[in-house]
Chain A
C-alpha cells in the first residue's frame, strides 16, 4: 500500500517504467464509486448507559508524489495529520453526544494484543469492502446485510481503552510535487491518463463487547487537508459520514 524503499520498489519501478505509455499506473480506485458506507442492521447505541468511544491510533500516511509517481512519506505532515485527526475526531464525537478518548500508548503484552487487533481490523475491513461494500464477486453469504466481527475476545481492548466502542481510522494522502503537476497537465493535454493525488480514508466502529463491526465508511476520494486543524475537521466530517446517531436505530442501510 505504501511506497516502500527498496528492492521491491526497484523491481516494481522497473516493471512500471518499462511499460510503454502512461506517465503512471492508474489507481484501481478510480473505477469505483468514491464513497460507500454500511451499518449493521438494527444497530443502535444503548440508551441507558454512557457511550464511550475509544479512538484507536490512526493508521495514517501523508506524503508527496514525485514526477515519476514515487511516494515519499512526509514525517512532519504525518505527525501533524495524526494529531489533527485525533482531536478533530474527538471533537466530532463529543458534538454528537458521545464520550471520546484516544487509546493510550501501550507496552508489553497489551501492545501485542492491540497490534493483533489492528491487524485483524484491517483484514476484516478489507474483506468487508470486497464482499459487502463493493461486492463485485463477493461471498454469497455476505451479499445481504452487514455482518462482520472481530470476535468477542476483543473485550480486553475495552478494559485497556476504558470504553465500549473502538473507532479505527485509516487515512492516506499523497500530494503532487510541482514536477508531477506539470506532468499531469502536459500528459492531460496529450490525452494520457495520469491519476494522481490519491486521498483515501476509511473508518470502522467496533463494539468492544461483542467484537462486531457495527459501522464503516470508505471514501476513496476524500476531501479535507489533515495537515491543518480546520482541514482535519473537514476530513473527519467526511470520514464519519453516516455515523450512527444516538437514539436512532439503523434500518437497512447500505450504500452510497
Chain B
C-alpha cells in the first residue's frame, strides 16, 4: 500500500463512526428533532453544518478513490440489504461506498456517507449478519452520534483547559473527565448495536446474527494468534481507554437481546448472500492472503467451505500455503491445486500456482509444463511475459 492509501485509510477510519476498534475505531435521542434520514433533511445548526461540510469535502475525494469498488451489481445488492434492514423510506439518506480494504469494518458519517470495507463482505456469512452491521452504522447516523460525540469532546476538553489553570485540581480531575469521554463513546456503540437489532427484527432478519458475527471474529482472532504462537487478542480489554465494548460483552448482550425478539419468521438470507458474492469472494480472498495472516485466512477459508470446497476455495488455499512455504506447505499447496483442477471448472491461475509450487519444490519439468498450460489457457494474462520466461521453451 502506498503512503497515500494508508493516509486515506487513516483519515477514513478515524473520522467516522466505525463498527469496531481493532487497532482502529462511536445518549440521548431527541424525539422532537427531525431525523437525519428524513427526505430533504438539512443540518440544523453551526456544529452540524460544519461536520457536514467537512464530510462533504471528504466525499469529493472518496468519489475519486482508487479503492472504490464500483461494480454496480455489488453496490445494488448491498444497498438492497440496507434498504430492507432500515426500510425503503429511510435508506435513501445513505450513500454507500464499498472500499477495497481487506479488514472487518464499516462506518457512517453525519452527512450520510456510509463506507463498507470489502473485508467485512468476506467475513459475514449471510445477509442477516451484513444487515446487523449496516443497521448499526445507520443507527449511529440516525441518532447523530458523531455530532453528540463532537459536542461531548468539546465540552469536556473546555473543562480540562480551565481545570489546568486551577492549582491543586491536577491530574485526577482531568483523568476522570477523559474517562467519561471514552465511556460516552462506549454507550453510543451499545445504543447503535441495539438499534440495529430492532431494525433487523422489524424487517425479518434473524437478530441473532448480530451476536454470531462477534463469535466468528473471536474465532478468527484465536486462529491468528495460534498460527503466530501469540496470545489471542479476543479478550483484550482496553478498560478505561476502550472506545467500544469488548467483543465478548457485545456478543453476550446482543445474544440476550436477540433471544427476547423470539425466533419466528426470521430469515438469514445465506443463499442469496453466497450468490451475490460469488464473483467477489475469490478477489477478496486474494487480498486476504496478501495480509500474511495465515491463521485467520485458513479460518476464513474453512468457514467459506462449510458447504464444500469449490475450485476457487481450493485455489485460494493453495495460494495461501504456497505463500507461507514452510516445511510441508508446498506439498500441501500442490495437493490443493490438483484437487482444484480435478473440479473441472478451475480457472487458469490454478496452473500458474501449481507450476510455481512445483518449480519451487524442485520438480522443474513438471512445473514448466504447468506454467505453459497456464499461458495456453490465458494467453492475455497480465503476467504473461514473466511466466513465459519461467516456463522456458518446450
A interface, CB within 8 angstroms of B: 2, 4-11, 13-14, 16-18, 20-24, 63, 66-70, 72-76, 78-79, 111-112, 115-116, 119, 123, 179, 183, 186-187, 190, 192
Contact = CB atoms under 8 A, between A and B. Distances in A.
A36 B24 CA distance: 37
Contacts of A75: 43, 46, 49-50, 52-53
A112 B24 CA distance: 28
Given A66-B157, A74-B49, A75-B49, 16 more contacts: A5-B51, A5-B110, A5-B149, A5-B150, A6-B17, A6-B149, A7-B21, A10-B149, A17-B160, A23-B165, A68-B157, A70-B157, A72-B47, A72-B150, A74-B46, A190-B165
Contacts of B4: 119, 123
Nearest to A16: B157
A5 B146 contact: yes
B135 interface: no
Contacts of A183: 161-162, 165
B300 interface: no
Contact of A4 (B11, B63, B165, B171): B11
Given A68-B157, A183-B165, A7 B54 contact: no
Interface of B: 4, 10-11, 14-18, 21, 24-26, 43, 46-47, 49-54, 60-61, 63-64, 110, 146, 149-150, 153-154, 156-162, 164-165, 171, 174-175, 177-178, 181-182, 185, 241, 243
The 8 A-B pairs of least Cβ separation, nearest first, read A68-B157, A8-B14, A115-B64, A75-B49, A67-B158, A75-B53, A4-B15, A73-B50
B20 to A, nearest CB: 11
Contacts of B64: 111-112, 115-116
Contact of A6 (B61, B146, B157, B182): B146
A52 B25 CA distance: 46
Contacts of A67: 157-158, 161-162
Contacts of B160: 17, 68
A72 B158 contact: no
Contacts of B53: 73, 75, 78-79
B158 A179 contact: yes
B151 to A, nearest CB: 10
A22 B26 CA distance: 28
Contacts of A11: 243
